[in-house]
Structure 1
Amino acid sequence: MEPVPPHAAAFAVLQPLQEELTAMRRKERSLMAAFSLFEEVYTDTRRGEQQPFTLHRGEAAINGALVAAVDTCQEELLTAQPGGGRRADDLAQALERDMRLLARGTRQRTVYQHTVRHHRPTLAYISQITEAGAEVRTLAEVFERLIICDRKVAFIPVSDDRGTAALEVRHPAMVRFLARSFDRDWKRSIPVEDPDSALRPRVIVSDIQRTILQAVVSGETDESIARRLGMSRRSVAEHVRKVSEHLGSGSRAQLGYLLATSGFLPDGPGPEAAGGTL
C-alpha cells in the first residue's frame, strides 16, 4: 500500500459516475425530444375536438353561446327556469327564440316554479309557446337553472348570480346525468293546462306552503325563502303568519319546533300531506 494524493483517488472514483451522468443527460434530452413530438401530435388531434367544458363569462358571452346552441337544436330542448316570474325583456327574447324552435318541429319542455302561475307576463309567454306545441309544468321545490339541447350540450350557472358566468357542458356522461335529473323533476311537476286562468289548483297552493314551511324548519328567513321561490317577502310572511296562528305559535323558533314535531309536514306529497290549504 502506498499513499496517493486525494485528488488522484477522487478522479478514479468520480470518473465513472460522471460518465454515467453524461449518458443519463443524453437519454433525458432524447426522451424530451420524443415527448415534444408526441405533444404536437396530441395537440393537433384535439384541436378539432369540442372541449367537454367551456366557461362563458358575462351576459353577452353567455347569451351568444346559448343562441348558437339553441338555434342548432333539432330534436329536444329542455329548460328549468327557477326564481318565479321572468323579466319582460328576457321573455321577449325567449319567445322569439322558442317560436323559431317550435316552428321547425323541435320538442320543448320547460319547468318553472309554482309561483309563475300568478305572474301575468310569464303566463302570457307560456300561453303563446304552449299553443305552438311546447309543454310547461311547475314544481314547488327550488332547483338550479338548466338548459339542455338535444341531450348533447347543457348550460348551468356557475354561481347564484346567473348573469356572471355559465358553464357549457358537452361531456356525454355529465349531460346524461343532468338530463336524467330534469326527467325526474318533470315527472313530479304539474302541467300548466290553462295559462290564461288566474286560478291555481289546491295542490299548487299546498306545495308552495309546504316548501315555505320546510324552509322555516331549516331556519331560513322570509327574505331568503322569497328569493329562492321567486315570490314577495310579504307573501311568504303571510303564509307563515297563517300557520303560526293555526298552531298557536308565539315565535319563529317555536313555530319551527311545532312544525318539526307536530306531524304538520309529513314527507308525502299532495294537499293532504300539508294539512290542506290555509
Structure 2
Amino acid sequence: MCQIPDEGTQNGEMSVCETGTAVYRAAITHGSASGDIPECLLRLGLLRPQDGEPDVFLPVPPDVAAHHLALPIERAVRAQQQRLLDLRAAFSLVEALYREEQQQAVAPVRLLEGLEVIEATLWKLTESCQSEFQSSHPGPRPPRALAEALPRSRTMLERGVRQRTLYQHSARSHGPTLDYMEQVHALGGEFRTHYEVFGRVLLFDRSVALIPEGRYKGGHHHNALIVEHAGVVGFLADVFDHAWHLAVPVTFGTPDTRPAPLTDEKRRMVLRLMVEGHTDAAIASRLSMSTRTVANHVKRAAEAYGSRSRAQLAYLLAKSGHLE
C-alpha cells in the first residue's frame, strides 16, 4: 500500500501511487471499488464509503475532492490574512502617534544660524542652568565676546552655579581675557590653562553643549550647533574633565597681582612641537601665539644648545631629554 506523508511533513507532498491510479480508474469504470483500497485515494478523498456498505467505495470527482481538502486551508489562510490586516492597522495608529511625537520632540543636534540666534540661545541656556557650566576656549577671545559673556557668568555664579573655564597658556598675557578672568574669579569662577585646548565648547549641566559649526570654521559665517544627545554631551563633558585635570590653575592674589605667564611651559611646548616637525606657523596656530614669538623661542634654544640648523637643534633637544 502507498504511504502519504502527514500534512506537517516537508513540502506537504501528496500524490496518487500507481496502484491508486489503477483502482481509481476501475472505480470510475465500474461505478465502485472494494477490497484493499490504497491509502492515497482515501487521504485525497477520491474514494468514499458507500452509505450502508462500508466495504464498497464510490469514486469522487477530483474537483470535488480537491475543494473538500482545500476548504479548511483556505479558511485558515483567510483568517491569517485578516489577522495580518488587523495587526498592520493596530500598528499604523501607534506609528502615526510615534512620528508625530518625534517631529515635535527636540532634535539631538540643531544648527543655530546668526549671532542673534546664538546669543538668544546662550541666554536661554544660562537662565536654565542649575548646577555647572563648563567652557573651553582655544585662542584669545575678542573683547566683545568677553563683554557679552560677563553678565551671563555673573547671572549663573550669583545663582550658585559652578563655572569652570579652560584657556590656553597664552591667555595669561592677554589683557582683555585677564580682565574678564579677574572679574569672574572674584564671583567664584574657576580658570585653568594648558598648552593646547581641545576645542571651543560650552556645556550646561552636562546635558546641553554648544559647539562651532565646523564647515564655517575660520570663515565669516556665525553659526553653531546645539547638541542635546546625552551620549555626545557626556563624552564632551568627560573630555573637558580630563583636560581640566591636566591644566594649570589660574590664581589671583591681591587686586594688583595677576597670574604670571607660564613662559617656561610655553617655551617647552614650542620646542616639543618643533622637534615633532611642525612649522613656526603651525605651532603659532596651535598655541595661539604669533609666529615671531615662536621664532624667538626657537632662536634662543638654538643659541643655548649651540646648534647651527633647525634639524640639529631638534636632534640635540630630543637627545637631551629636557622636553620630557
Aligned mate of 2:163, from 105, 108, 118: 108
- Give the length in aligned residue pairs: 238
* Aligned-partner residue type, residue 260 of structure 2: R
The corresponding residue for 1:82 is 138
Q: Which residue, 148, 151, 161 being the options, matches 2:218?
A: 161
One-letter amino acid of the structure 2 residue matched with residue 207 of structure 1: E
Which secondary structure does the structure 1 equivalent of 2:322 belong to? coil
Q: TM-score, normalising length from structure 2?
A: 0.65
* 1:172 matched to 2:241: no
Aligned to 1:217: 275
Deviates more, 1:253-262 or 1:186-195: 253-262
- Between the two proteins, what is the percent identity of the paired residues? 43
Partner of 1:99: 154
1:43 aligns with 2:99: yes
Q: Which residue of 2 aligns with 1:265?
A: 323
Measured in 1, the distance between the counterparts of 2:132 and 2:258 equals 29
Tell me what 1:72 maps to: 128
Q: Partner letter of residue 103 of structure 2?
A: R
Distance (Å, rounded) in 2 between the aligned partners of 1:259 and 1:124: 37
After TM superposition, give the deviation of residue 130 of structure 1 in Å: 0.6
Match of 1:244, as an amino acid?
Answer: A
Structure with bigger RCO (C-alpha 8 Å, 6+ apart): 1
- Find out whether 1:200 has 2:260 as its counterpart: yes
Aligned to 1:269: none
Q: Are the aligned partners of 2:137 and 2:197 in contact in 1 as well (CA < 8 Å)?
A: no
Question: Against the structure 1 CA distance between its residues 234 and 139, is the aligned structure 2 distance closer, same or farther, given a 3 Å change threshold?
Answer: same
2: CA distance, partners of 1:36 / 1:250 = 78
Q: Where does residue 186 of structure 1 map in the other structure?
A: 244
SS in 2 for 1:41: helix
Question: Could you say if the C-alpha distance between residues 55 and 254 of structure 1 is closer, same or farther in structure 2, counting changes exceeding 3 Å?
Answer: farther
1:126-179 Cα offsets, whole Å, 9 max, x none, are 111111111111112242111100111012223243864322111111111111
Task: Tell me, in whole angstroms, the C-alpha distance in 1 between the residues paired with 2:312 and 2:113.
Answer: 44
Q: Could you tell me whether the CA contact under 8 Å between 1:118 and 1:198 is conserved in 2? A: no
SS at match of 2:272: helix
2:213/2:224 contact within 8 Å kept: yes
Change (3 A) 1:199 1:54: closer
State the shift of 1:95 in Å: 0.8
CA distance in 1, matches of 2:316, 2:298: 13
User: Structure 2 regions of 5+ residues with no counterpart?
Assistant: 1-80
Q: How many Å separate the matches in 2 of 1:164 and 1:223?
A: 25
Tell me whether 1:59 sits opposite 2:115 in the alignment: yes
Distance 1:183 1:32 in 2: 49
* Shift in Å, 1:254: 3.0
**1:37 Cα shift?**
5.0
Q: In the aligned structure 2, how far is the partner of 1:59 from the partner of 1:254?
A: 48
- Note if 1:132 corresponds to 2:192: no
Decide whether the 8 Å contact of 1:58 with 1:165 is kept in 2. yes
Cα offset for 1:64? 3.0
Question: What is the alpha-carbon distance in structure 2 between the residues aligned to residue 36 and residue 55 of structure 1?
Answer: 32
More moved, 252-261 vs 179-188:
252-261
1:90-128 Cα distance to aligned partner (Å, 9 max, x none): 111011111111111111111111111111211111111
Gapped runs of 5+ residues in structure 1? 1-25, 267-278
Aligned partners of 2:138 and 2:199 also within 8 Å:
yes
> Per-residue deviation at 1:81?
1.1
| Residue 243 of structure 1: aligned partner | 301
SS of residue matched to 2:226: strand
Separation of aligned partners in 2, 1:56 and 1:255: 47
Task: Indicate if the aligned counterparts of 2:107 and 2:228 stay in contact, CA closer than 8 A.
Answer: yes
Stretch moving more, 234-243 or 39-48: 39-48
Q: Is the 8 A contact 1:141 1:211 kept in 2?
A: no
Match of 1:123 in 2: 178
TM-score by length of 1: 0.75
Q: Shift in Å at residue 50 of structure 1?
A: 2.1
SS in 2 for 1:79: strand
Following the alignment from structure 2 to structure 1, what is the Cα–Cα distance between the partners of residues 227 and 251?
32
